A and B are shown apart, each in its own frame.
Chain A
Amino acid sequence: MSTTDNQLPLWEVFIQSKSGTPHKHAGSIHASDKNMALENARDIYTRRGEGRNIWVVLSDQIAASKTEDEAEFFDPADDKVYRHPTFYKVPEGVKHM
């Protein structure tokens, strides 16, 4: 049996739930062009009022770090507790930190 993917190109979907908040990765869809990608993302990921704005980007356009680089990339941050801004008091009323 052939395992070739004969579907349309893959796109990653990012949804903004309300204005002013960051777009978050929602999942992926197949589409042949930008318009179709936006519409497919709309039809699949915003049917229940999840979004106000959508970004789509071709999956193969995303550069991702490699699993084997994990140690070099991320482990050095483990013992730098002073980098966490936990010594400040957050003023009341600040919602998005």
Chain B
Amino acid sequence: MNTKQALYNYCLRLADNNLIAGQRLAEWCSNGPILEEDLAMTNFGLDYLGQAEFHYDYAAELEGKNRSGDELAFTRSERQYYNCLLLEQPNGDFAQSMMKMFLYSAFAKLLLQALCQSQDERLAALAAKGIKEIKYHFRHSSEWIIRFGNGTEESQQRSQFALNEIWPYTADMFDMNEVDQELISLGIAVDLNNLYAPWLLTVNEILNAANLAVIENQHMYKGGYKGNHTEHLGHMLCEMQYLQRAHPGATW
């Protein structure tokens, strides 16, 4: 795989992660547990959407086929999406959604911090811009996890259930392939192996404070960065892409 192809694929991965995270959060619109949280979650969704847009535009330039960032977002099919599996998992209840955001933002915080040093100036600049938002998502979601774990019996059970459900998708965030190999050697991409230990440390710190425990030795699902997805992504794309597929190029 040549560098340009690898960089294109890497940009799509970053963009797809953001878009899918944003789309799932948007599903909470009008369904939040309280008005304040409803606004907060949809705001976070817009944060991710904004970051997605920048990465899609960059990917479109790299591809050089005169496709726009929007076309990349709305006309690729499931197997051409490179987001990690965790983000496409259904929202479940509020505890599950916060658990997803907590586990992902702890990862994304480290990824963006490292990407600030990327040899690719544009990726570095986008990471520097995105990190402030991600830090806030991490703060917000990790505080909720601690509250859930120490709250009522029901909130404790629901958050432990959420952790059990989502944990098997966490290894996928670190699952590198030839795209990473090509770009790491050039100092463009981040070696995800180096992020695992600090991620686990942060996550365990919060889970301990929340009195929640990971079930060890579960089967871990992988393949998102290669385009091998769970059954949930197809359904998401159906809904998300319907308008552009039915009326190509529609704007308002």
- Is B40's CB under 8 angstroms from A43's CB? yes
Is A15 on the interface with B (CB-CB < 8 A)?
no
Chain A, residue nearest B44 (CB) = A43
Chain B interface size range: 10 to 19
Instruction: Please give me the residue from chain B that is nearest to A40 by CB atom.
Output: B36
> Are A47 and B36 touching (Cβ within 8 A)?
no
Point out the residues of chain B lying under 8 angstroms from A32, CB to CB: 147
Cβ proximity bits A16-56 to B, threshold 8 Å, 1 near / 0 not: 00000000000001111001100110011001000000000
Contact of A30 among B34, B139, B140, B147 (CB under 8 A): B34
**A contact residues around B140 at 8 Å (CB):** 39
Asked if A1 is an interface residue, CB under 8 A from chain B, the answer is no
Residues of A within 8 A of B139 (CB): 39
Residue B238 at the chain A interface, CB threshold 8 Å: no
Say whether B164 faces chain A, with CB atoms less than 8 Å apart. Answer: no
Q: Are A40 and B147 in contact (CB under 8 A)?
A: no
* Chain B residues in 8 Å Cβ range of A64: none
Q: Which residue of chain A is the closest to B40 with respect to CB atoms?
A: A43
Which residues of B127-151 have CB atoms within 8 Å of chain A's CB atoms?
Answer: 139-140, 143, 147
Give the Cβ gap from B146 to chain A, nearest Cβ, in Å.
10
In Å, the complex CA distance between A35 and B36 comes to: 13
Q: Give the contacting residue for A7; candidates B34, B39, B40, B143; CB below 8 A.
A: B34
Give 1 or 0 for each of B30-71: 1 = CB within 8 Å of chain A CB: 000011110110010000000000000000000000000000
Q: Is B36 in contact with A44, judged by CB distance below 8 angstroms?
A: yes
Q: Give the Cβ gap from A11 to chain B, nearest Cβ, in Å.
A: 10
A29 to B139, CA, bound (A): 19
A81 close to chain B: CB less than 8 A = no
Q: Are A8 and B34 within 8 A (Cβ)? A: yes
Contacts of B35 in A (CB 8 A): 30
Residue A35 contacts which of B34, B39, B43, B143 (CB distance < 8 angstroms)? B143
Given contacts A8-B34, A30-B34, contact A47 B43 (CB under 8 A): yes
**CB-CB < 8 A to B39: which residues of A?**
43-44
How distant is B40 from chain A, measured CB to nearest CB, in Å? 4
Distance in Å from the Cβ of A59 to the closest Cβ of chain B? 14
Other than the given A40-B40, A43-B36, 18 more pairs (CB < 8 A) read A7-B34, A8-B34, A29-B36, A30-B34, A30-B36, A31-B36, A32-B147, A35-B143, A36-B143, A39-B40, A39-B139, A39-B140, A39-B143, A40-B36, A43-B39, A43-B40, A44-B36, A47-B43
Show 17 residue pairs from A and B whose CB-CB distance is below 8 angstroms, ordered by the A residue: A7-B34, A8-B34, A29-B36, A30-B34, A30-B35, A30-B36, A35-B143, A36-B147, A39-B40, A40-B36, A40-B37, A43-B36, A43-B39, A43-B40, A43-B43, A44-B39, A47-B43
Q: Which 4 A-B pairs have the closest CB atoms?
A: A40-B36, A43-B40, A29-B36, A43-B39
